[in-house]
Structure formats: structure tokens, C-alpha cells
Amino acid sequence: MSDLRNVFISHVHKDDHGLQKLKDLLSPKGIYMRDSSIHTGKFNNATDEHYIKTQILAPAINWAGIFICYVTPETKNSEWVNWEIEYAAKQGKRIIGVWEHGQKDCELPEALKEYADAMVGWSGDSIVNAINGVDRWEKTDGGDYGAVPLKRHPC
């Protein structure tokens, strides 16, 4: 049985290559993603920050049922990634962090630490479980992340 999901994948553009890998990992598990995130194949020439946030990113995040943050060493320093996570949290989206394939532990974006429902390794089963509502925090190897602060709920 296949399951089609509307997803926004937050990432830094340098990591565009990982988006298709993520989709390919999930398709054998029956999860197919329609991705509204902005990437090289769907790039725009907008330069005004307010316009980008209100007219491009916000509608794309609003459309998505699931919000995934593709975590690499570069995501922790991205103001855009943190803004997208915070916006998704305000919209009540399920927020899932997924470690990049082969990634060894790195710092998480601050907003992901605050608002993520789950943080999982590069495992199709773990990601599917997170999409389906299992709140679990894993290290990159799939082991237990340890103590995680309580999730903050936006007002």
C-alpha cells in the first residue's frame, strides 16, 4: 500500500542532492513525497526577505502536512532553516529532523532542538515511524539520543 504525503524539506541549498536520496529511501517503504521545498530545480530569483518568507516559503510550508529538516553540519548556522522550523511550529506542523546519510553527529539548529517531534537516523523504518507519529530522538547511527528537553509549544 502506498502513501502519498505533502512534505516540506528544510535544508541548505548545498545539500539539495540529499532530497532525492531521502525520497528514494522512503519509496520502497510505501511513502511517496510531494515536496514543496525550494531547491535548485525549483529556484527563484527573489531577493526581498519579507517576500521570500511570506510569498514563497510560508505557502509552501502551509501546504505541507509534514515538515522535515534535513540535518547536515551547515543547517545549524542557517537563519533560513531556523526561520522555517519556527514558522512550521507556529502552524502546528509535525516536525521531524533526519540526519544526512553517513553523517556523524553534528550540532542541530536551535529551532529544531526546541520544536522537533522526532530526530531520526538514516533509516527508512525510523523516518516512516516518525512521519506516522512516533516521537523518538536518535543519534546518527540510530541509537538513543539520550535526554531531550521538553518540546516547547508555540502560543
pTM of the model: 0.88
Cell of 133: 507519529
Specify the pLDDT at position 8: 93
Contact assessment for residue 60 and residue 38, using Cβ atoms and an 8 Å cutoff: yes
Contact assessment for residue 114 and residue 78, using Cβ atoms and an 8 Å cutoff: no
The closest alpha carbon to 22, from 13, 32, 105, belongs to: 32
The closest alpha carbon to 101, from 34, 27, 39, 24, belongs to: 24
Instruction: Examine the pLDDT at 30 and tell me if it is beyond 90.
Output: no
CA separation for the pair 152, 100 (Å, rounded): 24
Least confident of 42-51, 60-69, 114-123: 42-51
Output the average pLDDT for the chain. 87
Residue range 35-53, pLDDT digits in tens: 888 776 666 777 888 998 9
Contact assessment for residue 53 and residue 83, using Cβ atoms and an 8 Å cutoff: yes
Cell of 2: 502506498
The mean pLDDT value for 111-115 works out to 93
The full set of domains in the chain, from first to last, is 3-131 (3.40.50.450)
The mean pLDDT value for 91-96 works out to 96
Specify the pLDDT at position 47: 82
Other Cβ atoms less than 10 A from the Cβ of 42: the count is 12
